[in-house]
Amino acid sequence: MEVEVKAEAKEDARSTVRAIDRDGLERLLGLLREEGYRTIGPTVRDGAIVYDEIESVRDLPAGWKDEQAPGRYRLVRRPDDALFGHVVGPISWKAFLFRPRETLTAAARGEGGALEFRRAPFEPERAAFIGVRSCDLAAIAVQDTVFTGGPYVEPRYAALRRAAFIVAVNCLESGALCFCASMGTGPRARRGFDLALTEIEGRFTVEAGSDAGRRLLERLGAEEARAEDAARVEEGTARCAASMAKRMDPAGLPELLLGNLDHPRWDEVAARCLACANCTMVCPTCFCSTVEETSDLTGSSAGRVRVWGSCFTEEHGKVHGGSYRPEIKDRYRQWLTHKLASWVPQFGTSGCVGCGRCIAWCPVGIDITEEVAAIRASPGPVPDVQGLPLAPVPSPLPAPRAPAASSVEEDLVPRPAAVTAAVRETPDTVTLHVRPPQGFSFRPGQFNMLSLPGVGEVPISISGWDGTAVEHTIRAVGPVTRQLAALRPGQELGMRGPYGSSWPVDEAKGCPAWVVAGGLGLAPLRPLVRELIGRPEDFPEVRLIGGSRTPGDILFVREILGWIGRRNLQTHLTVDRAGPDWRGSIGVVTQLLDDASIEGVYFVCGPEIMMRFAVRRILEAGVPPQRVYVSMERNMKCAAGFCGCCQYGPLFVCKDGPVFRYDSVAYLFERSGF
């Protein structure tokens, strides 16, 4: 079944409003189950209204209302016995589409010990969602964009989404924390549903929003609604919107928040925030995830399981050697700026739909609308958001896309690849030559995801191509890289990729090309150097500036020695410290940039701190920031824009990077906590 969206459904003659009573609703549930749908709807459990399987109208929370306030949620009796007289609870529909736990791939040793990877078997359940509020329809549309609107399609989400039937419910009463009206997402359901109900004094009006909905309505044989009832849908939702006390002004939020990254309010909110991650769990659009490795006891099969993650956890921003967002302030700011600001350039819409869940379920009652209002009330003196890739806030929300089956889904499944050679570069660094799957090609600067079943998966930049195998230079620092670095020729690993942006080699045509590498940063630059020096007519003047900790840490020594005498290459290496045997330069790499050419194009990669100082020197020399490229590193779990871990401001390092033109990251580059 396709979820098909017709913006003009209202004008459609076939979508006349029908009316049913409770028995009609019961018949509707029955028909859905007859068509093979599991019916899921609101029901009372543990003092909250949650979404769970419902077998009959009797399972709906008749006569209950959810009283909500910041940090507070409780069920109370209503004077009537309305079935949908509540708003939204701790569970959102993402639990059924982007499920909290999902096995991604399974790996096994086949006959003769060869590695095999499979996409984990997946049977999408056909589910009918009963009682989806307008805000949650908007949230589903947002997640559709996240999981199916990019270069990759998340296959499990897409399959579940394709198999879902959506029965919306219009809100005639909002909750105390609802602010959908100001966000333009409710309370009237206008699109993105198959059927939409409005509960009026024990009866329901029903409208169809898709062909599937219309077909079901025909089968239901419901009578046409009375004109007054149809009119009450519009009046009632309009009255609900007008009476909504809470609001958030979405205008200009990306500029406001990204222009106020040092606002004192972040410190104030951080002092209250517990970093418990509740808000991200209850948020219907939050999509971050992480991955757990599982393996059976014999080690013959292993799986990768995706679980919900949160930018409030330390793990989210973590790479070996530390976390990019160590402070609670960094994490709260990440969450809020992502949701309300970065989301816009990323997905063309705000990440907030105004449902108010994060306010109710925050143990200390932090209110997103108040945080925004506080910053709006006293914006910093110079909001500098130059160079920000901001898109206008589209209004209304983009129509939910019907996610299509896509062959690129397979790109996310690792394929077995055999090591053909392992070359030790330094005591802790090895270059693995790996024969890639058929048809592999890459551009300098891109990376692959390399994995070992049961151990883990890591992004590793591509350091070259030897004619038959792709080279990966790996430093043994964590559990996964240690085991990768220990692989011997003939052994297999999992590979998927290549991913990410590449060094824009041709930007340097006819200009001095400066390649500035620090430590392992030379690895992703090596294929660039090879290309530059291989095309002397295009790149007559290449300069390689390389810094390492000690002479023993210099990578690719033999190859670099072989480059001596290349007419278009000058190499300057330096080390931070050395013993008596080293005759070369000693001192930090930035000192080799004192005579940076103003005409040059710069390709910089190394530890972030080294890049910061190197870029500063380059800019001090008068080089325009548009001629400087840097390669960033962040935590990466998916490489496809799904897991959210690799965010750097509004950018995804995995798909927008890792190579960025400096001016696009300049306003974040000198800051920490991103």
d(CA 422, CA 431) in angstroms, rounded, equals 6
Q: Which does 164 bind (CB under 5 to 8 A by kind): other proteins, ligand SF4, ligand FES, none?
A: none
Q: Where are the beta strands (DSSP E) in 482-556?
A: 492-499, 513-518, 542-548
Instruction: Output the CA–CA distances (angstroms, integers) from residue 299 to 103, 128, 294, 302, in the order listed.
Output: 17, 39, 10, 7
Tokens of 166: 């959506």
d(CA 253, CA 249) in angstroms, rounded, equals 8
218: DSSP letter: H
Rounded least distance, CB 548 to other proteins, Å: 6
d(CA 653, CA 633) in angstroms, rounded, equals 7
The continuous run of DSSP H or E covering 341 comes out as: none
d(CA 654, CA 263) in angstroms, rounded, equals 29
Rounded least distance, CB 356 to ligand SF4, Å: 6
d(CA 434, CA 497) in angstroms, rounded, equals 13
Nearer of residues 144 and 633 to other proteins, judged by Cβ: 633
Nearer of residues 36 and 587 to other proteins, judged by Cβ: 587
Check residue 639 for interaction with ligand FES (CB under 6 A). Answer: yes
Check residue 587 for interaction with other proteins (CB under 8 A). Answer: yes
Rounded least distance, CB 407 to ligand FES, Å: 20
Residue with tokens 């409780």: 74
Tokens of 103: 């096995």
Rounded least distance, CB 134 to ligand SF4, Å: 4
Residue with tokens 């932090």: 366
Q: Which residues contact 485 (CB under 8 A, 6 or more apart)?
A: 428, 429, 430, 432, 474, 475, 476
Instruction: Output the CA–CA distances (angstroms, integers) from residue 264 to 23, 249, 259, 666, in the order listed.
Output: 56, 20, 13, 22
Check residue 591 for interaction with other proteins (CB under 8 A). Answer: yes
Contacting ligand SF4 (CB under 6 A), which of 29, 106, 128, 180?
180
Rounded least distance, CB 76 to ligand FES, Å: 41
Contacting ligand FES (CB under 6 A), which of 138, 638, 665, 668?
638
Rounded least distance, CB 580 to other proteins, Å: 5
Report 483-522 residues binding ligand SF4 (CB under 6 A). Answer: none
Check residue 577 for interaction with other proteins (CB under 8 A). Answer: yes
d(CA 275, CA 256) in angstroms, rounded, equals 23
Check residue 172 for interaction with ligand SF4 (CB under 6 A). Answer: no
DSSP state string for 405-467: P-GGGGGGS-EEEEEEEEEEEETTEEEEEEE--TT----TT-EEEEEETTTEEEEEEEEEE-S
Contacting ligand FES (CB under 6 A), which of 257, 286, 636, 665?
636
Nearer of residues 456 and 547 to other proteins, judged by Cβ: 547
Residue type, 503: W
Nearer of residues 406 and 550 to other proteins, judged by Cβ: 550
Exposure b/e, 8-20, CB count within 10 A at least 16 = b? ebeeeeebebbbb
Nearer of residues 210 and 346 to ligand FES, judged by Cβ: 346
Contact in structure between 532 and 487 (CB atoms under 8 Å): no
Report 632-651 residues binding ligand SF4 (CB under 6 A). Answer: none
Convert 56-105 into a string of H (helix), E (strand) and C (coil): CHHHCCCCEEEEEECCEEEEEECCCCCCCCCCCCCCCCHHHHCCCEEEEE
Q: What is the dihedral of CA 23, 26, 31, 33, to 10 degrees?
A: -170
Nearer of residues 328 and 636 to ligand FES, judged by Cβ: 636
Nearer of residues 180 and 605 to ligand SF4, judged by Cβ: 180
Rounded least distance, CB 57 to ligand SF4, Å: 20
Rounded least distance, CB 645 to ligand FES, Å: 5
Rounded least distance, CB 23 to ligand FES, Å: 48
Contacting ligand SF4 (CB under 6 A), which of 68, 143, 148, 174?
174
Contacting ligand FES (CB under 6 A), which of 93, 152, 193, 652?
652
Q: Which does 349 bind (CB under 5 to 8 A by kind): other proteins, ligand SF4, ligand FES, none?
A: none
Stretch that binds ligand FES, among 200-208, 264-272, 340-348, 643-651 (CB under 6 A): 643-651
Q: Which does 135 bind (CB under 5 to 8 A by kind): ligand SF4, other proteins, ligand FES, none?
A: ligand SF4
DSSP state string for 166-195: EEEE--SS--TT--HHHHT--SS--SS-SE
492: left (phi over 0), alpha (psi -120 to 50) or beta: beta
Nearer of residues 157 and 266 to ligand FES, judged by Cβ: 157
Rounded least distance, CB 653 to ligand FES, Å: 6
Stretch that binds other proteins, among 146-154, 528-536, 609-617, 645-653 (CB under 8 A): 609-617
Contacting ligand FES (CB under 6 A), which of 259, 400, 644, 658?
644
113: left (phi over 0), alpha (psi -120 to 50) or beta: left
Contacting other proteins (CB under 8 A), which of 394, 584, 624, 672?
584
Contacting ligand SF4 (CB under 6 A), which of 20, 87, 358, 529?
87
Nearer of residues 539 and 652 to ligand FES, judged by Cβ: 652
Report 497-556 residues binding other proteins (CB under 8 A). Answer: 518-521, 523, 547-549, 553
d(CA 354, CA 186) in angstroms, rounded, equals 8
Q: Which does 273 bind (CB under 5 to 8 A by kind): ligand SF4, ligand FES, other proteins, none?
A: none
How far is Cα of residue 191 from the mean position of the Cα atoms in its chain?
Answer: 25
Check residue 657 for interaction with ligand FES (CB under 6 A). Answer: no
Check residue 632 for interaction with ligand FES (CB under 6 A). Answer: no
Q: CA nearest 460: which of 485, 438, 435?
A: 485
Tokens of 51: 């979404």
Rounded least distance, CB 169 to ligand SF4, Å: 8
Quote the radius of gyration of the chain (alpha carbons, Å): 28
Check residue 130 for interaction with ligand SF4 (CB under 6 A). Answer: no
Check residue 475 for interaction with other proteins (CB under 8 A). Answer: yes
Check residue 458 for interaction with ligand FES (CB under 6 A). Answer: no
Binding region for ligand SF4 (CB under 6 A) = 87-88, 133-135, 171, 174-175, 178, 180, 186-187, 354-355
Binding region for ligand FES (CB under 6 A) = 636-639, 641-646, 652, 654
Binding region for other proteins (CB under 8 A) = 319-322, 461, 475, 477, 518-521, 523, 547-549, 553, 574, 576-580, 582-588, 590-591, 606-607, 609-610, 613, 633
